[in-house]
Amino acid sequence: MSHFFWEIGTEEIPAGKLAAAIEALQQNVEKALQEQGLFKQGMTIETAGTPRRLMVAVHGLADKQPDSVEERRGPPVDRAFDPEGKPTKAAEGFAKGCGVAVADLGRLETPKGDYLAYSIRQSGQPASQILPGIMTDILTHFPWPKSQRWGDGEMRFVRPINWIVSLLDGAVLPFSTIDGLEAGNTTQGHRFLARGPYKVSDLKSYQAAMVKGKVVLQSDKRKELIRAGVEKLAGEVGGVAVISDSLLMENVGLTEWPVPLLGQFDGVYLEIPPEVLMTSMQYHQKYFPVQDETGRLMPYFVAVSNIDTKDNTVLVTGYERVLRARLEDAAFYWKSDQSLSLEGRLEGLKSVVFQARLGSVYEKSLRIESLAREIILSVTQAPLDDTLYAARLCKCDLITGMVGEFPELQGVMGSYYALASGANQTVAATIREHYRPQGAADDLPETVGGRVVSLADKLDTLVGCFAVGLVPSGAKDPYALRRAALGVIRMVLDGEGVHLPLRKTLNSGYEAYANDILVEGQKETVEKLIAFFYGRLKNFLKTEGFDYDLIDAVQSLGLDDIYDVVLRVRALSSFKKRPSYSALVAANKRIANILSKSDEGGKKEGRTGVSVNESLLTHEAEMALHHQIRQSAGLVSGFVDKQAYDEALTALAQLRETIDLFFDQVMVMDENLAVRENRLGLLALVRGTFGMVADVSRLVLPE
């Protein structure tokens, strides 16, 4: 067994990429060792990283690749020798290719006859010859989202590589990058506190060097040191630190020797909205805010330094000075922005471009208001006047100084400025929430008005972009249309659900645009959007545990009420668990197949208003089916009107025995044309009754 150690020393790796890089290094090394035959039972791989290094140690890898045997098959024996027993050219060519004489070849017996054969044994290469190629391949193809070149070289990596440590069983394993950087056995410590160099021979000596070099190697340990330090300092001033996991991990990725430090700012800045202070501290400066036990901000913060000194007051003063400059700007904008009411900024949106081909934000605001009215009148109980007022003003904070400085606060500042302008809490909450959700994990708007305006905003963007051909393609979605569609779906399905008439609403959204700027026709745009929504809905329902065939069975009905579609899908999911499921699905598939083959014009297939001539029903089984389907159709129709799809499917399940008996005893394709057409009509009636809920023939039968 051998022990391999590899360290890549770099300039500072971006904090947000460090965790993924450590994981990728582990996966790539393990995969390469398996592919090259160096993976051994009981082998362990240990990885770690800091802003200036990625490290991997492999314990117990194979000393060499296993020997291999290549079995080569030559020509058939009867073609390898002539009648006199002399080798033919085929035999001589095969022997030459194997590097031996014909006499050294063996024979392989197969069911198809005997063949010339030869076994070529190859000794496995030692790990010392394989590992340099593995390292080169990993460095060259490391999965960074973005990489760079430096100097005059051709090497690409996320940041310039400054040193490499490469050791096999304690000795330097010769290796160099494509730019000629040679590996050695010396590493570096902290850039400022204990740079080194430090000579290492294995993981244990490397870990000791990191201790001397003031480097906390493991990310988990840095994380806990930061968390504990931040909580302790916040507690010393009677507060509680606001610690988000994302900010915590960002500080982990920024430090090798984390030192939490307590700072403070003038309490006069607490008059500014707390979101501004939080944004300044968390997102701009990477500080941890401090709150009191009631959740109110205190004039303190905790910053995490990457260096430690005997007197850290200079560091703290620097952190405070940087934050003070930010807060001074915020205080200025907070005061100056209120010199003009939020409504007074509406005209200013005429000079702000929404999208180069889709007009200004002012025009978008008017479309949002129009579409919000449509949604309110169609499906919700939102307060009409307040919601429409909020819809008209929801984008006005985009031209405030505060949002210009802190773009993360759009919507939030609009709510504050609305209140300052005399608006009520309902209007303010609607403006604040209308951007939600901005991602799959983002919170939904809590108020009805917020959801209405959010729906209108997102639907307007989707309609406009699709109407001018700005459709997502592959991985490219520059206008985040997939995210917008998913946001609409989540809002429609949340809680008690909203029966939004999607096709009608999209048509209204299209008509709100000026026709001269649109490229695609209205019908084409709306139908493409309906298909787009169904695609997003499929993915959403798949993550919820529903199979694709369920939504296909419902989508084929051409419905545009997303919530109604999901109610049907949920009912079908329960239907799958019924004992009668397989028989009813098989029967529906059979009916669909018969109707499609017998009805060239497609008039019977899926028809619900089919008339059946009772006088032509001569067989007891077909009369029973006709009687029961007429009763069931009325029941199912009533349940469907109430969206009681579980009950509707329960009623349909009662048809199983009658349908089975019909197919067992009745010949559908009777020689008498009138009888045949009547029986086909009866099947169309059955299919149409099931079709009130879904096209059951599209469901997948269990294997």
Provide the percentage of residues in the chain whose pLDDT is more than 90: 68
**Does any domain span residue 559?**
no
Do 568 and 554 meet the contact criterion of CB atoms below 8 Å apart?
yes
Helix, strand or coil, per DSSP, at residue 166? strand
CATH number, domain with residue 419: 1.10.3210
Residue 617 covered by a domain:
yes
Give just the sign of the alpha carbon dihedral 600, 606, 609, 610.
positive
- Confirm whether 703 is domain-assigned: no
What are the pLDDT digits (tens) for 532-579?
A: 999 999 889 988 888 888 888 998 888 889 999 999 999 999 988 888
Same domain for 541 and 594, yes or no, is no
In a domain, residue 693? The reply is yes
Residue 584 and residue 651 in one domain: yes
Tens of pLDDT, residue by residue over 278-310, are: 999 999 999 999 999 999 999 999 999 999 998
Please state the separation of Cα 62 from the chain's center in Å. Answer: 38
CA-nearest of 172, 225, 178, 239 to 199 is 172
Residues 207 and 223 in one domain: no
Q: What is the pLDDT of residue 267?
A: 95
Cα–Cα distance measured from residue 119 to residue 73, given in angstroms and rounded to the nearest whole number: 9
Reduced to 3 states (helix: H, G, I; strand: E, B; else coil), residue 212 is helix
Q: How far apart are CA 149 and CA 345, in angstroms?
A: 47
Q: What is the pLDDT of residues 622-663, one digit of tens each?
A: 899 999 998 999 999 999 999 999 999 999 999 899 999 998
Rounded to an integer, the average pLDDT of 315-337 is: 96
Do residues 179 and 203 both lie within one domain? yes
Higher per-residue pLDDT: 517 or 230: 230
Q: What percent of the chain has pLDDT over 70?
A: 98
Burial per residue of 65-86, b for 16 or more beta-carbon CB atoms within 10 angstroms, e otherwise = beeeeeeeebbebeebbeeeee
Q: What radius of gyration do the chain's Cα atoms show?
A: 36
Q: How far is CA 692 from CA 256, 575, 611, 679, in A?
A: 64, 15, 17, 20
- Give the per-residue pLDDT at 608: 45
Mean pLDDT over the full length of the chain:
92
Whether 273 maps to a domain, the answer reads yes
pLDDT digits (tens, 9 = 90+) for 113-156: 889 898 887 788 899 999 999 999 999 999 999 999 998 888 99
Residue 603 — very low, low, confident or very high, per pLDDT cuts 50/70/90? very low
* pLDDT of amino acid 184: 95
Q: Is the dihedral of CA 526, 528, 531, 532 positive or negative?
A: negative
CA distance 334 to 41: 64
Tens digits of per-residue pLDDT, 382-403? 899 999 999 999 999 999 999 9
Residue 605 has pLDDT above 50, yes or no: no
Instruction: Assess whether 583 and 673 both reside in one domain.
Output: yes
Residue 693 CB contacts under 8 Å (≥ 6 apart), including other chains: 568, 571, 572, 636, 640, 645, 648, 649, 652
d(CA 602, CA 174): 74
Residue 408 and residue 480 in one domain: yes
Counted domains in the chain: 5
Residue 596: band (very low, low, confident or very high) from pLDDT cuts 50, 70, 90: confident
The residue written with tokens 């349908």 in the block is 659
In a domain, 555, yes or no: no
Which pLDDT score is estimated for 610?
63
Q: 353: domain range?
A: 344-545
Report yes or no: 272 and 67 within 8 Å, Cβ to Cβ: no
pLDDT over 80 (residue 338)? yes
Same domain, 446 and 525: yes
Length reported for the chain = 703
Across 588-611, average pLDDT: 66
Edge-to-edge strands of the sheet including 53-61?
Answer: 44-50, 53-61, 2-10, 161-168, 171-172
Q: Are residues 673 and 636 in the same domain?
A: yes
Q: Is 1 exposed, middle or buried (0-12, 13-18, 19+ CB in 10 A)?
A: exposed
Question: How many whole angstroms separate alpha carbon 145 and alpha carbon 14?
Answer: 11
Domain finish residue from 337, 361, 384: 337
User: Would you say residue 101 has pLDDT above 50?
Assistant: yes
Question: Is residue 598 located within the same domain as residue 449?
Answer: no
Does 318 reside within a domain? yes
- 74 and 92 housed in the same domain: yes
How is 19-75 classified by DSSP, letter by letter? HHHHHHHHHHHHHHHHHTT---TT-EEEEEEETTEEEEEEEEE-SBPPPEEEEEEEE
Which among 446, 426, 425, 565 is positioned nearest to 502, based on CA atoms? 565
With tokens 């022997």, the residue in question is: 95
Task: Supply the pTM of this predicted model.
Answer: 0.81
User: Count of alpha carbons within 13 Å of 382, Cβ hemisphere only?
Assistant: 33
Strands 68-76 and 113-122: antiparallel
User: pLDDT per residue over 350-382, tens digit each?
Assistant: 999 999 999 999 999 999 999 999 999 888 778
- Final residue before a domain boundary, out of 321, 337, 353: 337
User: What tokens were used for 395?
Assistant: 């984008």
Angle at 8 (CA atoms; ends 7, 10), nearest 5 degrees:
140
Same domain, 175 and 110: no
- Contact in structure between 25 and 56 (CB atoms under 8 Å): yes
Angle CA 287–288–290, to nearest 5 = 130
DSSP 8-state secondary structure symbol assigned to residue 205: H
Q: Are 583 and 688 part of one and the same domain?
A: yes
Residue-wise pLDDT tens digits, 33-61: 999 988 888 889 999 999 999 999 999 99
199: Cα separation from own chain's centroid: 44
Which of the listed residues 76, 104, 122 is the one where a domain comes to its end? 122
Place of tokens 């199983």: 656
What is the predicted pLDDT for the residue at 106? 87
Q: Examine residue 554 and state whether it is found in any structural domain, yes or no.
A: no
Confidence of residue 601 (pLDDT cuts 50, 70, 90): very low
